[in-house]
């Protein structure tokens, strides 16, 4: 997905007292990676691999129509795997345009449809392979394109749908496997971090690794508001934009947010465990409130945004997420001596 958006709100506040002796950033970052990020990257790799196998089985006879619900379920599981790590910009995911290739968006100019049409044309003329997809527009390589293949099947005949869907699924599983392999390589970023070293691609030193993860935490919370909730809400019910809701075709607009917030809460917990007790207590309270608020979101955020009564649940989620993001920036980071740097929401 595109990573250039309006600037992160600058929070000019008095920082809470830092610990008398701040925790070592390297072990703190390594713990966050090993206990939060890596298990979720493994799930992402496993679920995308399972999705690829589902396409192989469904297309054994050249037409996936009889297995459409199975393929949709495999998609939902794989997309959940991505939602759990989509906020991470630290590490191997940041290379080779991987975030855009996995989930291109927001798609304000219909690039996904154009890329998919190009792939469909190639599929009708012959085979479409994962290599074909990797060489195509990033808009046609990931979940948004595959969502259209599965929820707008009338646009493709059975053979073309099999070729395109199978190739996109294989491309996704390849990316997921590569990211996991690079994280866990003998001389990869995690191994270097645990040796107290920097990584030539991911971070200059252990302190920067911790800072980048803290920035991912704050930016990940803000990103939900800035890209997934506020654009759908508009200025009022009459100005709501239901189709700006991410994953509206597959009914994922609220589901994906819940998965992401759960991961963010786990990452915050790792940092909070190293913070003073009062800071940790506030952090736990704010992230629990955020999880409670997003749990109450209607499954179809777009439809709810146009309903004066139901959009209140979206407003409540926005407020709770703002509070959690502010807590990270004003309290958690400063208390640990871990600064927030520029994140994906900075700049244009």
252 and 298 belong to one structural domain: yes
325 belongs to a structural domain? yes
- In angstroms, the CA 130 to CA 172 distance is 9
* CATH number reported for the structural domain that contains residue 47 in this entry: 1.20.1420.20
179 and 301 belong to one structural domain: no
Q: Are the beta carbons of 66 and 163 closer than 8 angstroms?
A: no
DSSP 274: T
* Among 212, 173, 219, 199, CA closest to 9: 219
pTM for the structure as a whole: 0.92
19 belongs to a structural domain? no
The full DSSP string for 180-206 is HHHHHSTTSHHHHHHTT--BTTTBSSH
Res 12: pLDDT? 34
User: Residue 172 has which token pair?
Assistant: 């996704």
70 and 122 belong to one structural domain: yes
39 and 179 belong to one structural domain: yes
262 belongs to a structural domain? yes
111 and 153 belong to one structural domain: yes
* CATH number reported for the structural domain that contains residue 292 in this entry: 1.20.120
Considering 159, 194, 229, which residue would you say is the last residue of a domain? 194
342 belongs to a structural domain? no
312 and 283 belong to one structural domain: yes
89 and 232 belong to one structural domain: no
115 belongs to a structural domain? yes
177 and 303 belong to one structural domain: no
143 and 216 belong to one structural domain: no
153 and 261 belong to one structural domain: no
Considering 142, 160, 194, which residue would you say is the last residue of a domain? 194
157 and 38 belong to one structural domain: yes
pLDDT by residue for the chain (348 residues), tens only, comes to 444 434 343 333 344 555 557 799 999 999 999 999 999 999 999 999 999 999 999 999 877 888 999 999 999 999 999 999 999 999 999 999 999 999 999 998 999 999 999 999 999 888 899 999 999 999 999 999 999 999 997 678 888 899 999 999 999 999 999 999 999 999 999 999 999 999 999 999 999 999 999 999 999 999 999 999 999 999 999 999 999 999 999 999 999 999 999 999 999 999 999 999 999 999 999 999 999 999 999 999 999 999 999 999 999 999 999 999 999 999 999 999 999 976 644 543
Res 4: pLDDT? 42
Q: Are the beta carbons of 1 and 344 closer than 8 angstroms?
A: no
Considering 149, 172, 194, which residue would you say is the last residue of a domain? 194
68 belongs to a structural domain? yes
Q: How many structural domains comprise the chain?
A: 2
45 and 170 belong to one structural domain: yes
50 belongs to a structural domain? yes
The full DSSP string for 44-83 is HHHHHHHHHHHHHHHTTTS--GGGHHHHHHHHHHHHHHHH
**Any idea how long the chain is?**
348
Q: Which of helix, strand or coil describes residue 327?
A: helix
Domain around 246: 206-336
10 belongs to a structural domain? no
């Amino acid at each position: 997905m595109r990573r250039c958006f309006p600037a992160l709100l600058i929070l000019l506040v008095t920082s809470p007292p830092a610990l008398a002796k701040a925790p070592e950033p390297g072990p703190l970052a390594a713990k966050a990676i090993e206990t939060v990020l890596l298990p979720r990257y493994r799930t992402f790799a496993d679920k995308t691999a399972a999705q690829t196998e589902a396409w192989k089985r469904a297309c054994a006879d050249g037409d996936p129509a009889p297995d459409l619900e199975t393929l949709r379920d495999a998609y939902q599981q794989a997309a959940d795997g991505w939602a759990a790590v989509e906020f991470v910009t630290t590490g191997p995911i940041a290379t080779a345009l991987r975030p855009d290739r996995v989930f291109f968006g927001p798609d304000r100019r219909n690039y996904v449809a154009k890329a998919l049409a190009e792939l469909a044309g190639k599929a009708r003329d012959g085979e479409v392979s994962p290599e074909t997809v990797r060489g195509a527009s990033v808009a046609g390589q990931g979940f948004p394109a595959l969502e259209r293949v599965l929820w707008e099947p009338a646009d493709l005949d059975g053979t073309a749908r099999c070729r395109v869907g199978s190739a996109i699924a294989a491309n996704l599983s390849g990316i997921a496997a590569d990211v996991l392999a690079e994280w866990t390589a003998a001389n990869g970023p995690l191994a270097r971090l645990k040796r107290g070293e920097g990584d030539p691609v991911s971070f200059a030193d252990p302190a920067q690794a911790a800072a980048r993860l803290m920035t991912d935490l704050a930016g990940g919370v803000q990103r939900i508001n800035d890209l997934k909730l506020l654009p759908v809400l508009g200025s009022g019910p009459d100005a709501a934009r239901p189709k700006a809701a991410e994953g509206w075709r597959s009914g994922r607009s609220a589901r994906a947010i819940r998965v992401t917030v759960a991961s963010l809460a786990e990452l915050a917990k790792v940092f909070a465990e190293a913070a003073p007790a009062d800071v940790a207590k506030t952090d736990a309270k704010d992230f629990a409130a955020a999880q409670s608020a997003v749990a109450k979101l209607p499954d179809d955020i777009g439809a709810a945004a146009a309903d004066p009564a139901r959009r209140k649940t979206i407003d409540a989620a926005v407020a709770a997420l703002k509070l959690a993001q502010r807590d990270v920036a004003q309290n958690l980071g400063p208390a640990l001596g871990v600064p927030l740097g520029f994140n994906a929401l900075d700049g244009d």
